[in-house]
Amino acid sequence: MKKVLVVASALISGAIGFLVYSFNKNLDYHVVNHRLKVLPPGSKPIKILHLSDIHMSERQNRKRKFIKRLYAEAPDLIINTGDNISSNFAIADLENSLNELLDIPGVFVFGSNDYFAPRPVKPLRYLIKKPFTVSRRTIKRLDTLRLEKILKSKGWILINNRRDTLEVNGTKISFVGVNDPHIGADEFPYLEHNAIPEDSVLKIGVTHAPYIMTIQQMLDDDCDFIFAGHTHGGQVRLPKLGALITNSDLPRKYAKGLFDLSEVHSPAISSVKPVYLQVSGGIGSPPSFPLRPFNAPEAVMITLLPKGA
């Protein structure tokens, strides 16, 4: 019996230590930087800040300070791929955090947690693939209209199931966005057969959840970049193994990071020409499962440079 108690005590101590470590990693906010030479010669560089899965809750002061500091990174364009809040009470904190970032040109799409508050679930159930369902008894609707008004207040463009263009540092960029595929809200905005051809230098696809069908639609639409979030980098990552899940049909190896799909050996998401898939590991986590073992929260900065620079 004594041996059993010793073993049990050791296991409990190890579990507590693991949770403490995970919690500390959860607070280790950082910026991931990439540099790509993809612009025409002579173009001015463009710094793209990718924000995703902020999942803002009340009294998250470290998260708020991290987001505020991102303005000092001097981005030229912001792409927000959704899941901004966990409750209506956090909308004011989100607005306060973004503050100066809203002055910078930006586009955004919504995720499920811009419409519905995260459901309380047992942590282990997060690791089980299960379709998203809306139940009047378990789903609390968020104030999406208020959130949208704040994000658009200084010029950010909502591209749920629509197209738009921006000129950034003299480079014309076209965007094609979809509403969240995870809840079946996506309707890809195909160009009409008689539409005027897009004359942009770059085309960027934007989605919250990186489902393979959505990625393929954007590849077929001739996108140069695809930005997504949703995966939380797998939420739980293990050394050498990496992400345990992606909460979508995207293979686990692509749970977070920047990938050239012309170098991906997967028939589901490969591309003949260089197309970059950027999947953010996200800044936050749902309140019911706030820990991110071996998976520090992130914002991503991609600096686009002229070819030959």
Contact 230, 83 (CB under 8 A): yes
Contact 139, 117 (CB under 8 A): yes
Q: What is the mean pLDDT of the chain?
A: 87
Contact 132, 112 (CB under 8 A): yes
Rg of the chain in Å (alpha carbons): 20
Which pLDDT score, from 0 to 100, does residue 218 have? 96
Which pLDDT score, from 0 to 100, does residue 225 have? 98
Phi-psi region of 242 (alpha: psi -120 to 50; beta: other; left: phi over 0): left
Residue written as token pair 């009470």: 89
Which tens digits make up the pLDDT trace of 209-234? Answer: 999 999 999 999 999 999 999 999 98
Q: CA angle at residue 75 from 70 to 76, to 5 degrees?
A: 155
Q: Beta 77-80 vs 106-108: how paired, if at all?
A: parallel
Residue written as token pair 């999406």: 144
Contact 200, 174 (CB under 8 A): yes
Which pLDDT score, from 0 to 100, does residue 264 have? 84
- Percent of the chain topping pLDDT 90: 68
Which pLDDT score, from 0 to 100, does residue 119 have? 76
Q: Which whole number is the average pLDDT over 14-43?
A: 75
Which pLDDT score, from 0 to 100, does residue 306 have? 97
Cα 164 to Cα 288: distance, rounded to the nearest angstrom? 36
Of residues 195 and 276, the one with the higher pLDDT is: 276
Which pLDDT score, from 0 to 100, does residue 14 have? 54
Which pLDDT score, from 0 to 100, does residue 27 have? 53
Which pLDDT score, from 0 to 100, does residue 268 have? 75
Of residues 133 and 33, the one with the higher pLDDT is: 33
Sorted by where each starts, the structural domains of the chain and their CATH numbers stand as 29-306 (3.60.21.10)
Which tens digits make up the pLDDT trace of 141-153? Answer: 999 999 999 999 9
Range in 2-11, 145-154, 163-172, 180-189 with the lowest mean pLDDT: 2-11
Contact 109, 159 (CB under 8 A): yes
Q: Beta 276-279 vs 225-228: how paired, if at all?
A: parallel
| 77 pLDDT tier (thresholds 50, 70, 90) | very high
- Percent of the chain topping pLDDT 70: 83
Q: Where are the beta strands (DSSP E) in 169-269?
A: 171-177, 202-206, 225-228, 237-238, 242-243, 257-260
